[in-house]
A and B are shown apart, each in its own frame.
Chain A
């Protein structure tokens, strides 16, 4: 079963910026143990563009789809047998990247 692990940062109280080496090491381990599917950090929400093409023509708007203190800073996709395994890894992941993470199963 695949799980999306969202890394949540906080604009008013952001996590530390020196996490890259620790995250790389953690990713190596995820790969070695067969959990890693995909991961990536995201540019700041300032770089986001929202497109709505449900009407007559596409409307482009500058900025994220929702303005909030908390925002999505990166994602992992893991393959794990069940939620307990995913939660255990997620607890480590939160420490490694010094941010909150959300775990959600894919359908």
Chain B
């Protein structure tokens, strides 16, 4: 990659959201903001190789995008011009400041508005804040490009028609809104960590990286929010294990069999720091939320040099705490996996079997049962459970792993 190409890639990663956010605030219209931002980047691709990279790429892009937006509005001669004309005259584009500004956070909160469907929030956040293209987002979520385009268009239309404001929610709305934002970011991360389709890589590094980047953004703006810290820690500790998670043959490697030397020590250290920060807050009487507890569970796993050193009783205690907050069958299933290590596969199987009705369509339920049955020497039943898990698993790396385990059964 040439220096200019690299500068453009970097500017796209670092400045896209800020340019879109600044224009959204100024013109009050996501479409105009997005199209003008895209035009500004296209102009950069044309001009920078000849003119050189400007000293402040962010400011250059914002100014260029502003001009493009004004041109577009003039050209289209919109009905509600007066309002916009006034903004164009009196609101000089602000120079981008620092790494993060409130414009970006405002944009995230607009994209994650509770009046939008969850899937629309995810798509819109990746498009407007993450700068991912529609085909990229469609690929990540295994839908047709046209379907994703419709989803995004519909969300933008609702924002306009229902007049969803592009502003930071007030302090008393914030807790309710932040939880939606975090849910969106965790969905993006999970899709990257265990991609759900047969036609995609088992791990989508681009999605996990983007989710972590956006969570860092929220963290910088809401440093006091425990769940933001918890989610960031959780993502970092899961991401740290990524290098050990897929074998050379493309097979998913479960936690117990991973090469722990390949884990990212820096990410683990950062994750552990955040978890310790939250433990201190918990000791001072602040009750932790689910992301903080999940992060603590992952801190226990990443503290063990060997699977045999894992403090399973600590893991189980944390799961008990989590079940009280979130009594979902999926949490109960994960708790059972820890219980198997502490109390044996027979006890765990009894817990798992009680979840049959709720989780009949969930591949991890059948994979867990298959493993427990295998450990109990019930090969025939184990094989049947592997078959069902393979049928339901969408991820190629996971299917490969489950198939091998099944075929090893006597």
Residues of A at the B interface (CB closer than 8 Å) are 1, 81-84, 87-88, 103-105, 107
Contacts and interface: CB of A to CB of B under 8 A. Distances in A.
B115 A82 contact: no
Contacts of A87: 114-115
Interface of B: 113-115, 161-165, 167, 169, 173
Contacts of A107: 161
Given A1-B163, A83-B113, A83-B162, 13 more contacts: A81-B163, A82-B163, A82-B165, A83-B115, A83-B163, A83-B164, A83-B165, A84-B165, A84-B167, A84-B173, A87-B114, A105-B163, A107-B161
9 contacts: A82-B164, A82-B165, A83-B165, A84-B164, A84-B165, A87-B115, A103-B162, A104-B162, A107-B161
Contacts of A83: 113, 115, 162-165
The B contact surface, by secondary structure, is loop
Would you list the 8 A-B pairs with minimal beta carbon distance, nearest first? A82-B165, A82-B163, A83-B162, A83-B164, A105-B162, A1-B163, A83-B163, A84-B165
A87 B114 CA distance: 10
A88 B161 CA distance: 18
A101 to B, nearest CB: 13
A63 to B, nearest CB: 31
Q: Which of A81, A82, A84, A105 has most chain B Cβ within 10 Å?
A: A84
Contacts of B163: 1, 81-83, 105
B114 to A, nearest CB: 8
Contacts of B115: 83, 87
B108 to A, nearest CB: 15
B212 to A, nearest CB: 29
Contacts of A84: 164-165, 167, 169, 173
Nearest to A3: B162
Nearest to B166: A82
B161 A105 contact: yes
Q: Which of A1, A88, A103, A105 has most chain B Cβ within 10 Å?
A: A105
Q: Which of A1, A82, A88, A107 has most chain B Cβ within 10 Å?
A: A82
A87 B165 CA distance: 12
Contacts of A1: 163
A95 B114 CA distance: 18
Contacts of B164: 82-84
A83 B164 CA distance: 5
A90 to B, nearest CB: 10
A100 to B, nearest CB: 15
Nearest to B114: A87
Nearest to A106: B161
B256 to A, nearest CB: 47
Contacts of B165: 81-84
A52 B320 CA distance: 61
A81 B165 CA distance: 9
A104 B163 CA distance: 10
